Structure 1
Amino acid sequence: MRREPHPITGGIYEDLGNGLVRVENPKTGGHGIFTWDGTWVEGDVTYADPHMLVYIGGQDLPAGKDRYWAMTPPYEPEGEALADVAAAGSMLAAGQEIPRIIAMYKGDPGLETEHGRRSAGHVDIDFLLDNDRKPELVPEVYRLESPMSGGPQKVGTARYFEQSYHDREVERIWKRTWQMACREDDIPNVGDYIVYRIAHLSYIVVRTAEDSFQAHQNVCLHRGRPLRDNDGKAAIEFRCPYHGWSWKLDGSLKEITCEWDFPGVRKDTSQLPGAKVGTWAGFIFINPDPEAEPLEDFLGPVMMEHYRKFKLQNRYKQAHVRRVIKANWKVTMEAFMEAYHVIATHPQLMLAGGDSANTRYDVFGNWGRAGHLSSSSISPQRDIWRTKEEQLAEHRMIADMNAEFLRGIIGDEVDQYSDAELNDGTFNNLFPNCHPWGGWARIVFRFLPNGSNPDECLMDVMLLAPWAEGQPKPPAAKMKLLAADEAWTNAPELGSLAKIIDQDCMNLPFVQQGLKAKQPPYVWNSAYQEGKIRHFHSIYDRHMGIESEEDG
């Protein structure tokens, strides 16, 4: 049973079982009892933090699975070596019973820097980089600072729910933009394929040779029936289940059944329409636009350099979970693009750290980066500060912990990384809908429209665990499907990330409803902390052909 203080009020939240939570006011001695979803049951305390309630009293993870996801063993068969890794991860994740930090809300006064207004907890990352114990290994891209320009910005609400926006997205984004379809490890052998669906579109992404991939429109050129309904292995052709027309792995026509009855049709149906395919860091991307720029140009040199040493192509996909979210894909995606929401949505995280107001944000081309270096214990919204020397000591301590854990997985390869890289856990996003986190965070998010319904989306959560270079990997984890209202904790392979995502997702249906009712019909995004969201919308507007006056 969980029992934790609130990081700001100090109120004690205690799980009573059966979905009930007792909340005690330490100042008055009063208490209230609530259901985990926020309904008051009894007592003189009549309101409680809804996100703390779901964390304490909501569905929990199975015993032994409530572990920090980035320090779980990447693969858990029977085996002594990996058991040692699991033990190290548990020890480090537990933090040896870190004292709970409680401090009343003070308000962040902010400060002026050479790059604009920032949190009063702003961390000079050049100080940390200049004092790195392996300065020769620090990537130059870590020093780049490129915040989104401009101030707070209005975004019209219609783009989040009107069908006309969804339809235009299909034509101008999903048919014209590079998008992550799968990992190479998802289709490890020739003939293996996945069915990639985006809105009403469908593509077969197939491995055609050891290092070659193609993407074909998943539609029979006879009467339009999809050629494949599910992912598959070891295909030698794609034969339509309706009338038996078939195409080879490379998309060329193999057979028209009763071709005598289709004189002159072979030329028109000789090749399945396809999409361009590119690979990067073990991911397979497709772009249906035949005139699309090369994938490398779309990603950009800064993004590729930031990830280069982390060798994501070596990672093992230890988890892949999908759930329907009752909110637009952009509403859902934006919930994972800033740390501004931590103080309200994830209060428990502040019990052992800061409030994330001092998170660093940068944007480069189609890519946004956040949090690659910061002090995790500063909490300007609770008047908790650290000197530069304390920040550096914390920075080095965490680097040493991470190195100790990683050495059990990748061995002496860990010595190739600076303190800065050992601490990297950036939450990054690539336009339009893929979030490959950086460093050792393992997380990859993907957000897809759910068919043609602008009020729903599909949210994918993948974990890419570090793996020793040159060592054979287990098969990539298969996708687990959760129901629309199912708790993420029903995917214990996500570790404690599942409970955090449950907190995020409880906001989203309410946001979707509120956007339809909101007057005036626009939302505000801040100058800095929501700069990555503004950056996304600037690219979105360009692709969609939206002028600022058109969208409020």
Structure 2
Amino acid sequence: MSTYATLQPGEHRCPGPSTRDIILADGWDVPAALTAEAYDFLGQADIPFDRYVSPAFFEQEMKQLWPRVWQWACREEHLPAVGDYITYDVGRYSILITRVSPTEIKAYHNSCLHRGTQFKPSDSSGSAQEIRCPFHGWSWQLDGSLKNIPCRWDFPHVQDAETRLPEVKVALWGGFVFINMDPDAPPLAQQLGVLPDHFSGRWDLSKRRVKLHLQKELPTNWKAATEAFLEAYHVYETHSQGLATAGDANAQYDIFDDHVTRFVHTIGFPSPHYTTPQTQQEIFDKMRGGGGVTVPEGKTARSVAAALARADIGATTGVDLAEYSDSEMLDSIEYHLFPNMCLFPGVSLPMIYRFRPIGMDPGRTMFDLMFLELVPDGTPMDYAPDPIPVTVEQSYADAPGMNAGLGAVYDQDTNNLAMQYRGFQAAFKQGETLGNYQEARIRRFHTTLDDYLARP
């Protein structure tokens, strides 16, 4: 009888050392959050493809999800001075976020109360001391109060107190500005779950700054784009060049609550699929491309690579990295905050992802890829760099400032998405079959989505 037959659904794990085993074997005192484990078996039913391609399902999301959920719109670095503004679009919605005072940020629906014209173009930023409609010149103070109506004599029926700009809820965490269009939305803290606890101390993202921001359109549904980054199962085929130096099947998956999940997969330790014997020197050479560095007797490729990263990144950023563990320096540690945000607290892989629908087409997604760099304590806030557009056809590696090798990996990640979306539409079997453990975050993602769609 197969060993697997004696286990309950969700109990199966890849044979060999786990991610937790590898991290603890490094010998570092790691943050407790890094080795915490939380998993729930959530079922085995297929996920219907209709959820990705159906205009009716997409419309339901537009009515029941996006206007009711907290989502990050920008960083505080985008709004360092009073009057600074940025617009955030998701589907049919457009939100104008502005700094009203040194201590307050407000957000409004990006639509004039006169005849509906957008105050500012979608996905734009700038600075202004009033909110003014470009069509007829109606204007509001930054705090949303009515400032001026040209030919006011013709609008005796307009009352100032009733003509304030409708506000959108704003909350701050980790240097991010979140918005929620629901006036009755629960506090952001309720959605953040374990994140404030886990992302404290040296994982505090408010102490980092935007180094690079890419925006690339993906020809797929926003959920499929998100899911491509919620599992390491695809490494076996999509990133097969990395099997000699990266864990995949033995990655750890955590489901902390309805809104927050995580995976951790190691770098510098071969995949369970890679069975060719290797020395630590050979592993290191494949990780770093050689370079003449020798792995001393008794050391691991991970430890040597992490030490070099501490020295290189520490020198570049001016930050003392002596306390950061090998795992924090090397590994892919990714949290997902429902619905569309991924956060990496690591040092060498300091990414933030966001996936949002473009307009009202279920098959178009904007992928925001942002890199947050450690900065020395006391570094003043400065304006974040403008996002760099990357077309559907372009490689991420073409973007100025992007590491070419990492750009090629992102190409591998997203080049499959157009074929997957076409496959959704062409399929005879009308649903995806998920692994119980490696794809558990995807199932939690859909279960939470269903919770929102079921709300009255």
- Same fold judged by TM-score > 0.5? yes
SS of 1:152's partner is coil
Matched, 1:439 2:346: yes
The verdict on how the C-alpha distance between 1:478 and 1:412 changes in structure 2, with shifts beyond 3 A counting, is closer
Q: Indicate conservation of the 8 Å contact 1:153/1:534, yes or no.
A: no
CA distance in 2, matches of 1:110, 1:357: 20
SS of 1:213's partner is strand
1:6-47 Cα deviation digits (max 9, x unpaired): xxxxxxxxxxxxxxxxxxxxxxxxxxxxxxxxxxxxxxxxxx
Following superposition, the deviation at residue 209 of structure 1 comes to 1.4
Cross-structure match for 1:228:
120
1:381 is aligned, of 273, 277, 285, to 273
Equivalent AA in structure 1 for residue 310 of structure 2: A
Cross-structure match for 1:488:
396
Matched, 1:202 2:202: no
Q: Indicate conservation of the 8 Å contact 2:138/2:148, yes or no.
A: yes
Following superposition, the deviation at residue 469 of structure 1 comes to 1.6
The correspondence of residues 446-485 of structure 1 with structure 2, limited to 5 A, is: 446-472=354-380, 475-485=383-393
The correspondence of residues 290-369 of structure 1 with structure 2, limited to 5 A, is: 290-300=183-193, 302-308=194-200, 309-350=202-243, 352-354=244-246, 356-365=248-257, 366-369=259-262
The correspondence of residues 123-134 of structure 1 with structure 2, limited to 5 A, is: 123=18, 125=20, 128-129=23-24, 132-133=27-28
1:319-375 Cα deviation digits (max 9, x unpaired): 11112211111111111111111121112223x51351111110112111111x646
Matched, 1:256 2:163: no
Which runs of no fewer than 5 residues in structure 2 stay unpaired? 280-296
Matched, 1:164 2:56: yes
Larger radius of gyration: 1
Cross-structure match for 1:266:
159
The verdict on how the C-alpha distance between 1:494 and 1:147 changes in structure 2, with shifts beyond 3 A counting, is farther
CA distance in 1, matches of 2:113, 2:162: 6
1:284-329 Cα deviation digits (max 9, x unpaired): 11011111111122101x2222221222112221111112211111
Which runs of no fewer than 5 residues in structure 1 stay unpaired? 1-108, 547-552
Equivalent AA in structure 2 for residue 456 of structure 1: R
Following superposition, the deviation at residue 265 of structure 1 comes to 1.4
Equivalent AA in structure 2 for residue 535 of structure 1: R
The verdict on how the C-alpha distance between 1:209 and 1:479 changes in structure 2, with shifts beyond 3 A counting, is same
Matched, 1:396 2:288: no
Equivalent AA in structure 2 for residue 506 of structure 1: N
Q: Indicate conservation of the 8 Å contact 1:378/1:384, yes or no.
A: no
CA distance in 2, matches of 1:398, 1:110: 40
Q: Indicate conservation of the 8 Å contact 2:266/2:332, yes or no.
A: no
Q: Indicate conservation of the 8 Å contact 1:445/1:462, yes or no.
A: yes
CA distance in 1, matches of 2:56, 2:43: 28
The verdict on how the C-alpha distance between 1:375 and 1:240 changes in structure 2, with shifts beyond 3 A counting, is closer
Q: Indicate conservation of the 8 Å contact 1:221/1:269, yes or no.
A: no
CA distance in 1, matches of 2:5, 2:394: 39
Which stretch has the larger CA shift, 455-464 or 466-475? 466-475
TM-score (normalizing by structure 1): 0.73
RMSD: 2.8
1:470-497 Cα deviation digits (max 9, x unpaired): 1346631101122232222221422122
Cross-structure match for 1:287:
180
The verdict on how the C-alpha distance between 1:411 and 1:517 changes in structure 2, with shifts beyond 3 A counting, is same
CA distance in 1, matches of 2:319, 2:350: 20
TM-score (normalizing by structure 2): 0.87
CA distance in 1, matches of 2:449, 2:51: 10
Equivalent AA in structure 2 for residue 523 of structure 1: E
1:497 is aligned, of 386, 406, 409, to 406
